[in-house]
Structures are given as structure tokens and as C-alpha cells.
Amino acid sequence: MVFSSLLALAFAALPALAQTDFSSAHNVTAIGGTWSSGSQQVVTGSGFANPATLSFTYPNVTGVSFAFSEDGWYETARYRFVSNGSSPNCITGVVLWHHGSYTFNDNGSITLNPLADGFQQVQDPCAAESNFIQQYNTTEIYQLWSITEDTNGPLLRLYDSGSAPLAPMSQVYSTPNILPQKLLNNGTEATITGTSSSLFVSSASRQWAPAELVSLASSVFAVGVASLLL
């Protein structure tokens, strides 16, 4: 009896799980287009990153953006602050851009394979090296995704490799707003340190979206900056 009611519960849960299935049958629209979280000030394309000069135009607020083309290309832009659990005053700012090809996997996950021209700027006022730009060339996997209908249109939810949700993204354009689909710098392995531009400038006028403030246990910091790549 207990077993059969457990079984009934399990089956009752299935439709909910199916919502996050990758198949377009479970999504209100295809993933193609340009998506952006919150007030939609972080958007992929030329307004965010210039890979040739390894520079960013900092948005006024934090957020995340993804663009997907129907022919298997993606671009992503992300601006966030990561709080340090053991030192609440030490907040690390990260701006990240990369592009490349994406694939849908049989288990419903999405794999992003970046070209070697991705880059990020990391600023940690408490670290010895407090401000640097480095290449970002890490394959990313998003375990689940779903597109549901929101009052303002389609809403894309992506869940990272640890199944933690990213901030939900609204569709800002039905087409991908992206830089040219090719290598846009020589995949520099040089790290630029001590850049003068600061993510923390005019922080008084900059809103920090709570959803982008990720609290991490101090043990996570044992791996240092690597943990920011997630």
C-alpha cells in the first residue's frame, strides 16, 4: 500500500519534471533568440564586450544574458558579484563573455563549447592580485533548461552544472544579438593585471541584484578564482 502510494506520488511528480525537459514540445518557444535577466541591461553583442581589446562596457546593474542561433551558435554575457562567506566585506566582481557552439544532449542538458577568445575580468579588492583579465576557455554544461510563458512573454530558465538556477531570462529579441561567429582575438594566454577600469566605480549608483549575489561557503574559496568559473 505504502509502496503503491509512493509510486503514485512519483508519477504525479513526472509532469513537473517534464517541464524542464529539453524537447521543444515542453517549451513554449524555441531557445533561439536573445535572453536577458532582470532589468535586461546585460545583453550579449557589441554593447557588452570587445574581444579584440579584451574590454567590457560595464552595465549599470548585474545580470546574465544568453543568445542562441538556430545553427548551433551561442554567446553569453554575465556580470555578477560574488560575496565571500568568511569575509562579508570582500565582494568579488566578475564580468564574463564567451561564445562558441552549443549542443543539446540526450539527457536534456546543454553543453557550451567556447572558442578560445572568451575572457573575464575579476576584481577582488581583498586579494593580492586585485584586478585582472584572463582568458576564459572552459566547457560549460547546463543540466536542465525550460522556457515557460510569463506575463511579459517567454522566460528561459537555465540550471548550471550543480543544478543551481541562473536568474530567469526574458526574451529581448527573437533573433540572436551576437558578435561575428568566429575567433575574435588570438586566444591570448597573457593575463592583463592592474587594469585601471574598475567594476566598483560609482558603486553608489550601481544596484546589486540580490539574485546575482552568490553566497559561497568558505570551503569553496579554497579553489580560489576557479570557483568563479562555474
Binding site for ligand NAG (CB under 6 A): 84, 86-87, 90, 92, 105, 107, 109, 116, 124, 126-127, 137, 141, 143, 187, 221, 224
What is the helix (H) or strand (E) element at residue 11, kind and residue range? Answer: helix 2-18
Cα–Cα distance, 167 to 154 (Å, whole number):
14
Total Cβ atoms within 10 A of residue 213:
13
User: Which residue, 76 or 84, is less far from ligand NAG as judged by CB?
Assistant: 84
CB of 200 to ligand NAG, least distance (A): 14
CB 107, min distance to ligand NAG, A: 4
Smallest CA-to-CA distance from 37 within 211, 213, 216 is with 211
Q: Distance of CA 35 to CAs 12, 25, 103, 107, 174, Å?
A: 31, 20, 18, 23, 9
In the bound state with ligand NAG, the residue whose beta carbon lies nearer, of 122 and 178, is 122
**Nearer Cβ to ligand NAG, position 168 or 187?**
187
Q: What does each C-alpha distance from 54 to 97, 117, 206 come to in angstroms?
A: 10, 9, 22
Shorter beta-carbon distance to ligand NAG: residue 39 or 188:
188
Q: How far is CA 133 from the centre of its chain?
A: 17
Query: Which CB atom, from 156 or from 220, has the smaller least distance to ligand NAG?
Result: 220
In the complex, the smallest distance separating the C-beta of residue 185 from ligand NAG, rounded to whole angstroms, is 10
Ramachandran sector of residue 26 (left: φ over 0; alpha: ψ -120 to 50; beta: rest): alpha
CB of 74 to ligand NAG, least distance (A): 16
Nearer to ligand NAG, 84 or 177 (CB): 84
Q: CB of residue 85 vs ligand NAG: minimum separation in angstroms? A: 8
Residue 97 pairs with which residues in a beta bridge?
77, 119
Min dist. Cβ of residue 213 to ligand NAG (A): 14
Q: How far is the CB of 117 from ligand NAG (least distance, A)?
A: 9
Using the CB atoms, write b or e for 74-95: b if 16+ within 10 Å: bbbbbbbbbebeeeeeebbbbb
Judged by beta carbon, residue 71 or residue 189, the one nearer ligand NAG is 189
